[in-house]
């Protein structure tokens, strides 16, 4: 681990010189590390304990457990109230009830967890959590990955084009997204986006002025991104506008949307484009070996397209995951075989390209089931779903289920992505601007490095350090689910679990929910400390 080597260096100053490499020396060297971890874990445990106490007290004092019985007209009202008090131990003061809850949690240490359960439905808390967590993870992981990728890309581009129209546009856009109430956006997407898009899919034609407008907007965006002098901008605008217009026209005029497919030729073309772009960023187009290795990977992918179609009918989730790993492995291997003085670059570029090509082949196969899916009696021509995680009673093979999941994930994912996208854009923009003003960037430029190397190797990597410390916290938040988005799209994840438990006054379930997210957050905070120490050599772990 990277951190421990640094701690080694730190401790070597005070440590008694013992022959390097002996177990005792290593133990002594890592002593500050162990103390650090121990302290950190201890203080985190105290924080978590305090937080659970606060939440329990808030719940115990703010929920009225007898509300429904007070207004009841049942003849045995007194008896019912007494039964409720006995059931929930309401005659015991809340701090003591907290202690008994804590005792149940402490039982986890000896393998006998008692997290209680819902007194309304009788389900145990761990069972409820076990169904809710995977559901939330499924919903949110795509959104977080997308938000990180898009947000960092846009933020970095915006920083590299500081004080241009594009930068101002992105800044305004991210402020706007930041200010959007998530529930409003989600309802808009659901009631307006889904219905509108489904209506459009039923008759996918666009008028010429619409196509023209889309083309012009795309051209304007691309010329702002690529920037440069007036000639270059005009050229970019023309090319991207014509290309966009042609694609939009083709897609609507040929009814592609109702029977989409890519086919080996389009996959090869898109793959080649991706290969050039990835090589340009990761290794530079001057690096011919890298370019050839990425293009070779695309060729292999296009050739494998046909034989793979015979394998795909037997696909399972596990097999696809295995294929993805194999694909990346093949890409890395191709890069390795091309050799050369700087193998790492070729391997990296080819590995990423292989993943992209593999993903295209996967998408192509999912597209093949679009038409039967769309026309099935359960979906009946309205594919973009607004509620739940799957179409009930749909059946079908792996591909149909994948497509079904996709159509259900689409809208909540957009709603979730929009808001965290803004935050990532702001962070990465600010972070890169800060780095670009550093002296070592000037040094790198002064020694004649090409701007690509300065940006990608010197600036970009350092700009990611502050970002890398936010990402674990966001991943921890995944486990908490999205309370509002889940409610609107009727997704039965952690957020829904929490709201339902709060409405039912299920104190044990709410506490179980909080225990999960609290633990995750506390752990993420520790991980952040380590990432920081590992990435930034100026920061040392000292106990």
Partner 1 sequence: MTTPVPQTPDTTVHHDPVQNTENAIELKEVEGLSQGRIVLRRFVRHRGAMVASFALLGIIVLVTTSIGWGPVPGWWQWGPNQLTPVVNPGGSPTMGMQDGGFQIGPHPFGQDNIGQDVFARVMRGTQISLMVMVVIGLVATSIGILMGAAAGFLRGRVDNILMRFTDMVITIPVIVIGAILGARFGQATPVVLAVALALVTWTSMARLVRGEFLSLREREFVDAARVAGASNVRIMFKHMLPNAVGVIIVNTTLLMASAILLETALSYLGFGIRFPNVSLGTLISEYQTAFNTRPWLFWWPGLFIVAIALCVNFIGDGLRDAFDPRQRRIPSQRKMNSAQRKAKA
Q: Does position 187 bind partner 1 by CB under 8 A?
A: yes
CB nearer to partner 1: pick between 95 and 329 = 95
Encoded tokens for 354? 């292989």
- DSSP conformation class of 194: I
Q: Does position 532 bind partner 1 by CB under 8 A?
A: no
Number of residues located near partner 1, criterion CB under 8 A? 44
- DSSP conformation class of 117: B
Q: Pick the stretch among 170-178, 216-224, 348-356, 394-402 that binds partner 1 (CB under 8 A).
A: 170-178
Count of residues in the chain: 543
Alpha-carbon span 429 to 167, nearest angstrom:
10
Q: Does position 59 bind partner 1 by CB under 8 A?
A: yes
Q: Does position 517 bind partner 1 by CB under 8 A?
A: yes
Least distance from partner 1 to the Cβ atom of residue 465, Å: 19
Least distance from partner 1 to the Cβ atom of residue 444, Å: 19
Q: Pick the stretch among 58-66, 119-127, 241-249, 447-455 that binds partner 1 (CB under 8 A).
A: 58-66
Q: Which of 31, 48, 226, 315 binds partner 1 (CB under 8 A)?
A: 48
Q: Which of 7, 55, 360, 384 binds partner 1 (CB under 8 A)?
A: 55
Phi (first) and psi of residue 124, to 5 degrees: -80, 145
Among residues 403, 396, 408, which one has the least CA distance to residue 313?
Answer: 396
Alpha-carbon span 406 to 381, nearest angstrom:
16
Q: Does position 487 bind partner 1 by CB under 8 A?
A: yes
Q: Does position 137 bind partner 1 by CB under 8 A?
A: no
Encoded tokens for 403? 């497509």
Least distance from partner 1 to the Cβ atom of residue 248, Å: 27
What would you measure as the largest C-alpha separation in the chain, in angstroms? 90
Q: Does position 421 bind partner 1 by CB under 8 A?
A: no
278's CB contacts (< 8 A; 6+ apart) are 294, 349, 352, 353, 356
Quick one: which H or E segment has residue 503? helix 494-504
Spatial contact of 204 and 257, defined as CB atoms under 8 Å apart: yes
CB nearer to partner 1: pick between 172 and 440 = 172
Q: Does position 480 bind partner 1 by CB under 8 A?
A: yes
Alpha-carbon span 152 to 470, nearest angstrom:
12
Q: Does position 191 bind partner 1 by CB under 8 A?
A: yes
Phi (first) and psi of residue 155, to 5 degrees: -60, -45
Residues forming contacts to partner 1 in the complex (CB under 8 A) are 43, 46-48, 50-51, 54-55, 58-59, 61-63, 163-164, 172, 175-176, 178-184, 187-188, 191-192, 195, 477, 480, 483-484, 487, 498-499, 502, 510, 514, 517-518, 521-522
């Amino acid at each position: 681990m990277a951190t421990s080597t640094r701690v080694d260096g730190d401790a070597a100053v005070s440590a008694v010189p013992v022959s390097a490499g002996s177990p005792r020396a290593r133990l002594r060297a890592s002593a500050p590390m162990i103390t650090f971890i121990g302290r950190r874990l201890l203080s985190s445990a105290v924080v978590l304990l305090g937080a659970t106490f606060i939440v329990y007290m808030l719940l115990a004092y703010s929920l009225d457990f007898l509300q429904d019985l007070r207004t009841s007209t049942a003849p045995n009202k007194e008896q019912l109230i007494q039964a409720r008090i006995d059931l929930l131990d309401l005659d015991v003061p809340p701090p003591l009830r907290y202690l008994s809850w804590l005792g149940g949690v402490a039982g986890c240490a000896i393998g006998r967890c008692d997290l209680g359960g819902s007194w309304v439905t009788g389900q145990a808390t761990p069972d409820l959590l076990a169904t809710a967590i995977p559901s939330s993870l499924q919903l949110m992981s795509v959104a977080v990955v997308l938000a990180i990728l898009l947000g960092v890309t846009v933020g970095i581009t915006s920083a590299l084009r500081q004080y241009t129209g594009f930068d101002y546009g992105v800044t305004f856009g991210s402020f706007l997204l930041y200010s959007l109430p998530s529930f409003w956006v989600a309802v808009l997407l659901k009631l307006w986006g889904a219905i509108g898009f489904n209506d459009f899919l039923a008759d996918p034609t666009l008028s010429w002025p619409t196509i023209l407008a889309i083309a012009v907007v795309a051209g304007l965006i691309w010329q702002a991104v690529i920037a440069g002098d007036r000639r270059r901008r005009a050229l970019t605008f023309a090319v991207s506008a014509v290309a966009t217009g042609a694609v939009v026209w083709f897609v609507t005029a040929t009814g592609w949307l109702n029977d989409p497919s890519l086919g080996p030729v389009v996959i090869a073309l898109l793959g080649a484009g991706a290969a050039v772009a990835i090589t340009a960023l990761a290794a530079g187009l001057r690096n011919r070996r890298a370019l050839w290795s990425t293009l070779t990977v695309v060729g292999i992918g296009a050739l494998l397209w046909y034989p793979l179609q015979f394998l795909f009918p037997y696909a399972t989730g596990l097999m696809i995951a295995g294929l993805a790993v194999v694909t990346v492995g093949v890409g890395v291997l191709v890069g390795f075989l091309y050799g050369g003085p700087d193998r790492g670059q070729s391997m990296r570029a080819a590995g990423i390209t292989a993943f992209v090509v593999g993903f295209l082949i996967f998408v192509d196969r999912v597209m093949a089931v679009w038409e039967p899916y769309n026309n099935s009696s359960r979906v009946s021509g309205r594919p973009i779903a607004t509620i739940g995680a799957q179409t009930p009673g749909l059946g079908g093979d792996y591909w149909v289920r994948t497509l079904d999941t996709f159509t259900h994930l689409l809208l909540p994912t957009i709603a979730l992505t929009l808001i965290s996208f803004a935050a990532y854009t702001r962070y990465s923009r600010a972070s890169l601007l800060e780095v670009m003003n550093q002296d070592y960037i000037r040094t790198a430029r002064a020694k004649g490095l090409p701007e690509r190397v300065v940006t990608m190797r010197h600036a970009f990597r350092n700009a990611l350090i502050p970002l890398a410390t936010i990402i674990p916290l966001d991943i921890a938040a995944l486990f908490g689910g999205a309370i509002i988005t889940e409610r609107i799209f009727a997704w039965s994840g952690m957020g829904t679990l929490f709201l339902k438990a709060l409405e039912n006054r299920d104190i044990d379930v709410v506490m179980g929910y909080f225990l999960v997210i609290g633990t995750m957050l506390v752990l993420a905070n520790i991980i952040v400390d380590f990432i920081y120490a590992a990435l930034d050599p100026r920061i040392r772990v000292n106990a």
